[in-house]
């Protein structure tokens, strides 16, 4: 796998992007965010669009602007969209996947994701809520790693301190979870408490970061929305950048 040195990397050949159609063989930047394409499970509601692309492109537009403003990482203008069976996933240290309460991995895809993660890849899982979503997510994830537990992410983990000092006291909701109270304040009605979880390799490296009962992508997407609470967006940016730096250096 091609890795980033320090805060920088020369990525492999740029690949076709579903929305932009880029076919250039010259890397656009030192870092490309990669979004994982998957097939929806039978449990998925019929939304009329691909659930893997939820929040796209607004989430990428805002987090990429944030990375450029808050770090010195040279970042491409858009995310790459990759299936697990695409050999080019091994050129990208960070895969971002949303709505895993609707995904369905085949045995071949589960094996491929296991290979990617054990070779040093980093998967960030976001935007799934409630017990039904958890069951769907773990049905596939346990086929990726039947022998590795999903663990609570401790505050002592490196990823909580690698760039920003983070805590887990603020839940990051989706825009749809917000409502206005009688006093005019904005509050969130979630399907359970926030839970940061992870899966580790034999050396203690975090391979999978799991944002459960949270929607980091929405917090990026609605960064300019005056209704969306600023502390929640700020935390989502900090987590996103810590995930990025961790992927680049681990």
For the chain, give every domain's residue range.
Answer: 34-249
The separation between CA 125 and the C-alpha centre of its own chain, rounded to angstroms, equals: 5
Q: Can you give the pLDDT at residue 199?
A: 98
Fold of 34-249: Rossmann fold (3.40.50)
74 CB burial (10 A radius; 0-12, 13-18, 19+): middle
Flag whether pLDDT at 157 surpasses 70: yes
Q: Can you give the pLDDT at residue 86?
A: 97
Q: Can you give the pLDDT at residue 11?
A: 29
Q: What digits encode the pLDDT tens for the residues 2-43?
A: 444 333 333 232 233 334 434 445 678 999 999 999 998 776
Flag whether pLDDT at 65 surpasses 60: yes
Kindly give, in sequence order, each residue whose CB lies less than 8 Å from that of residue 140, ignoring residues fewer than 6 positions away: 100, 103, 104, 105, 110
Q: What digits encode the pLDDT tens for the residues 113-132?
A: 999 999 999 999 999 999 99
10 Å Cβ neighbour count for 77? Answer: 13
Cα separation of 154 and 174, whole Å?
24
Structure pTM?
0.86
Q: How confident is the model over 67-82, as a mean pLDDT?
A: 96
Q: What digits encode the pLDDT tens for the residues 195-217?
A: 999 999 999 999 999 999 999 99
Q: Can you give the pLDDT at residue 17?
A: 37
Q: How confident is the model at residue 46 (pLDDT cuts 50, 70, 90)?
A: low
**Residue 142 phi/psi, 5° resolution?**
-75, -20
The residue count for the chain? 250
Q: How confident is the model at residue 66 (pLDDT cuts 50, 70, 90)?
A: very high
Mean of all residue pLDDT scores within the chain = 86
Identify the weakest region by mean pLDDT among 67-81, 174-188, 227-241: 174-188
Q: How confident is the model at residue 194 (pLDDT cuts 50, 70, 90)?
A: confident
Q: Please tell me which residue, 20 or 44, carries the higher pLDDT value.
A: 44
Identify the weakest region by mean pLDDT among 24-28, 89-93, 101-105, 146-150: 24-28
Q: How confident is the model at residue 45 (pLDDT cuts 50, 70, 90)?
A: low
Q: How confident is the model over 163-173, as a mean pLDDT?
A: 88
Paired tokens of 176: 């749809």
């Amino acid at each position: 796998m091609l890795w980033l040195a320090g805060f920088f990397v020369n990525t492999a050949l740029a690949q076709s992007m579903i929305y932009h159609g880029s076919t250039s063989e010259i890397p656009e930047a030192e870092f490309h965010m990669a979004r994982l394409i998957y097939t929806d499970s039978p449990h998925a509601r019929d939304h009329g669009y691909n659930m893997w692309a939820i929040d796209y492109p607004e989430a990428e537009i805002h987090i990429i602007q944030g990375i450029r403003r808050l770090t010195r990482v040279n970042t491409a203008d858009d995310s790459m969209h990759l299936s697990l069976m695409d050999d080019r996933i091994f050129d990208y240290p960070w895969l971002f996947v949303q709505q895993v309460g609707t995904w369905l991995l085949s045995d071949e895809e589960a094996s491929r994701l296991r290979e990617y993660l054990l070779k040093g890849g980093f998967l960030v899982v976001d935007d799934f809520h409630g017990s039904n979503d958890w069951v769907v997510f773990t049905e596939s994830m346990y086929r990726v790693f039947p022998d590795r537990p999903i663990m609570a992410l401790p505050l002592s983990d490196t990823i909580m301190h690698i760039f920003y000092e983070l805590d887990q006291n603020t839940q990051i909701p989706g825009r749809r979870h917000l409502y206005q109270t009688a006093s005019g304040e904005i509050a969130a009605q979630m399907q359970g408490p926030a839970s940061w979880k992870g899966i580790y390799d034999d050396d203690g490296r975090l391979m999978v970061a799991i944002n459960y009962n949270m929607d980091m992508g929405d917090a990026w997407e609605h960064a300019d929305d005056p209704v969306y609470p600023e502390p929640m967006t700020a935390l989502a940016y900090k987590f996103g950048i810590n995930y990025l730096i961790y992927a680049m250096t681990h």
